[in-house]
A and B are shown apart, each in its own frame.
Chain A
Amino acid sequence: MPEPQEAKSSALLDKAREEIRDLVQDLKKPQETQLWKSIFRVKHDRTEPRTRALGVLANVFLHLHPARINRDAVRYSYTWGMGGISFYLFLVLTFTGVLLMFYYHPTKVQAFRDILYLEHDVPFGKLLRNMHRWAAHLMVIGVWLHMFRVVLTGSYKKPREFNWCVGVILLVLTLLLSFTGYLLPDDQLGFWAVTVGTNMARATPLLGHEGPLGPELGMTPFNDVRFALLGGSIVDANALLRAYIWHCIAIPLIAATFMGVHFWRVRKDGGISGPSPVMLESEMKPVRKLR
């Protein structure tokens, strides 16, 4: 009895055909699919401003932005984009840094060889190392220019004083990140730079064994701040390990936390400071007591 079987298979075929048709429909309009909706949560409709805003607000990576922003603030001429560029470079450094960590051992025996290995044998290893190095330099420049811009537009003034202070901490952290990374190749350049740098710590007032009042407080080369920084009295294996941990774990975590605060405060302080309408000298309010 071939009849029913044929009917059954043709029904199955119909169903398959229908589903393929649906699939093609879905591919043409991916935004209608269950998968898409589950990922993006809100409908995106380019004609409706409200959903545009939701597209930004409902996305974890974009929600640090407001939904709308001062029309002149998107001009490059105002912020120079330097804060954003510094942050982007931080991301690039994190990415390339993690890749470098796969090839690097923070030990006196291996560190230098690992760099040679990276330069000569690891596919794209040289490019990776170069990118990490130059992105670090660029980030320092970016942060300086960002600070310069904030001063020139008076953006540190009320109510952004505190965020300026957070920024100063970020500047210090950025410099410390660069500095701790300098020792890691374990070559002459880093070794002597870090030796010169940490030698200053000997002279810390009160806490260094060569600093004013240091010896009087019982500081020796084996218990002062420099010893704590290096994990020893000379730049050696322990210093390498400490630099590595500060550079790859501690400072990035601290810096990322402060960046979170920094961005949060940009929003809470009323968004980017300008370009705002100019205020005139004749409109200065009379002196008021502080508080």
Chain B
Amino acid sequence: MDWAQVWEIVSLPDNIPIVAIAVLVPFYTWYAARQARATDRLIAQLEADPQMAKTHHRKIHPFRPGWARELPVWPYLLRIEFLAALVVTLILMVWSITLNAPLEEPANPNHTMNPSKAPWYFVGLQEMLVYFDPWFAGVVLPTLIIVGLMVFPYVDTNPLGTGYYTIRQRRVALAGFGIGFFIWLALVFIGTFVRGPGWMWFWPGQTWDHTRVVYEVNRNLPDLFGITNAWLQAILGIIAIAVFYAGSAWGIHKLVTRSELDRKIYERTSLTQYVVFQFFAITILVGLPAKMLLRLLFRIKYVLVTPWLNV
């Protein structure tokens, strides 16, 4: 275990935000889950007791008859905003006094940085370059992620769970977004803490060896079957992808129609909505990790090989 190496990476000023995320995301997940569990207990109570459902104010926050339902923004909201601004300023000041922004040597096109990494919030995309060609990892995939995020509200037809934390009423939506968010964060962590010189895999704590050479022979799926004809290769790739999409669609369908509530929500979903949902779920939430595993565990580079593009 090379602790000096670990410290060197973790304490890099530009990596501090990732360390902060490693603390903040679990904290806020816990914070939200706590409120969701409280809400879910209340929901269970109200479902079980229709009489109570009629009279209860239906929030986990305390309320008594006679209390105003609304408060003036001044001072109740503005004072919190002011306080938040103050705290943020304080944190920023302390951070800026204790840690200096990095500045390397002047830009020099003749001297390649190794590893040369994108800023941390884009390192996930850079890590995708290992698994896909640049046209897919750098252009198509980001577009798909942005479009996928935008269609999210239009394919989630669940009318429950607007305006409160809950898990039991929104399992599918939460799992969908959660998996995506997790993949993204995992890629950022791999790209930052695991990838070393030459973008090679170095376990955290392993010394970065600039002279290391890995003789890793990558194969394409058709090679495994000994297919060399270009047409047959393309056909095999298309079949493999089709089978993958069909299988995933079936699996996802089973998962999103498991409970009674999920089936009710499914019934409210139009065919278009459902197909769009399936497309993004398979491509991003299943396809991405699947391709990563194929590459990392089985050294398979391309599934679909054609003279024009490879996937």
Which one of A8-16, A18-26, A85-93, A244-252 is at the interface? A85-93
Within 8 A of A (CB), among B126-162: 126, 129, 133-135, 137-140, 146, 149-150, 152-154, 156, 158-162
- Our pick among A154, A171, A188 for the contact of B170 (Cβ within 8 Å) is A154
- Our pick among A134, A144, A197 for the contact of B96 (Cβ within 8 Å) is A134
| B28 nearest in chain A by CB position | A145
Q: Is B65 an interface residue (CB 8 A)?
A: no
Number of residues from B at the complex interface, CB < 8 A: 106
Q: Is B298 an interface residue (CB 8 A)?
A: no
Does B47 contact A281, Cβ atoms closer than 8 Å? yes
A140 to B122, CA, bound (A): 11
Q: Is A28 an interface residue (CB 8 A)?
A: no
Q: Is A62 an interface residue (CB 8 A)?
A: yes
Q: Is A97 an interface residue (CB 8 A)?
A: no
Q: Is B215 an interface residue (CB 8 A)?
A: no
B52 to chain A, nearest CB (A): 11
With a cutoff of 8 Å between Cβ atoms, the chain A residues found around residue B139 in the complex are 200-201, 203-205, 208, 211
Does B95 contact A134, Cβ atoms closer than 8 Å? yes
Q: Is A69 an interface residue (CB 8 A)?
A: yes
- Our pick among A68, A141, A274 for the contact of B20 (Cβ within 8 Å) is A141
Q: Is B66 an interface residue (CB 8 A)?
A: no
A129 to B97, CA, bound (A): 11
Which one of A32-40, A178-186, A257-265 is at the interface? A178-186
Q: Is A45 an interface residue (CB 8 A)?
A: no
A287 to B270, CA, bound (A): 11
With a cutoff of 8 Å between Cβ atoms, the chain B residues found around residue A277 in the complex are 57-59
A246 to chain B, nearest CB (A): 15
Does A145 contact B77, Cβ atoms closer than 8 Å? no
A123 to chain B, nearest CB (A): 15
With a cutoff of 8 Å between Cβ atoms, the chain B residues found around residue A191 in the complex are 107-109
With a cutoff of 8 Å between Cβ atoms, the chain B residues found around residue A242 in the complex are none
With a cutoff of 8 Å between Cβ atoms, the chain B residues found around residue A211 in the complex are 134-135, 139
A271 to B218, CA, bound (A): 54
With a cutoff of 8 Å between Cβ atoms, the chain A residues found around residue B153 in the complex are 156-158, 160-161, 164-165
Does B28 contact A189, Cβ atoms closer than 8 Å? no
Q: Is B78 an interface residue (CB 8 A)?
A: yes
Q: Is B84 an interface residue (CB 8 A)?
A: yes
Which one of B2-10, B204-212, B260-268 is at the interface? B260-268
Does B17 contact A141, Cβ atoms closer than 8 Å? yes
With a cutoff of 8 Å between Cβ atoms, the chain B residues found around residue A134 in the complex are 92, 95-96, 99, 101
- Our pick among B81, B101, B173, B264 for the contact of A284 (Cβ within 8 Å) is B264
Q: Is B111 an interface residue (CB 8 A)?
A: yes
Does A154 contact B173, Cβ atoms closer than 8 Å? yes
With a cutoff of 8 Å between Cβ atoms, the chain A residues found around residue B270 in the complex are 290
Q: Is A60 an interface residue (CB 8 A)?
A: no
A187 to B107, CA, bound (A): 4
A279 to B161, CA, bound (A): 7
Which one of B30-38, B224-232, B249-257, B282-290 is at the interface? B30-38
Contacts from A to B (Cβ < 8 Å):
49, 52-53, 55-56, 62, 65-77, 80-81, 84-85, 88-89, 92, 112, 115-116, 119, 126-127, 129-135, 137-138, 140-141, 144-145, 148-149, 151-158, 160-161, 164-165, 168, 171-172, 175, 178-179, 182, 185-193, 195-197, 199-205, 208, 210-213, 234-235, 273-282, 284-285, 287, 290
Instruction: Give 19 pairs: A residue, B residue, CB < 8 Å, sorted on A.
Output: A67-B73, A72-B59, A84-B81, A84-B84, A85-B84, A112-B107, A137-B16, A155-B162, A157-B161, A160-B153, A179-B122, A187-B107, A188-B111, A197-B122, A201-B139, A208-B135, A213-B308, A279-B159, A282-B50
A71-B68, A210-B134, A280-B46 are known contacts; what are 13 more A-B pairs with Cβ within 8 Å? A65-B77, A70-B69, A145-B28, A156-B156, A157-B159, A192-B112, A199-B134, A203-B138, A205-B139, A275-B163, A276-B164, A279-B160, A284-B160
Contacts from B to A (Cβ < 8 Å):
14, 16-17, 20-21, 24-25, 28, 31-32, 35-36, 39, 42-43, 46-47, 50, 53, 57-61, 67-74, 76-78, 80-81, 84-85, 88-89, 91-93, 95-97, 99-109, 111-113, 116-119, 121-122, 125-126, 129, 133-135, 137-140, 146, 149-150, 152-154, 156, 158-166, 169-170, 173-174, 177, 181, 261, 264, 267-268, 270, 308-309
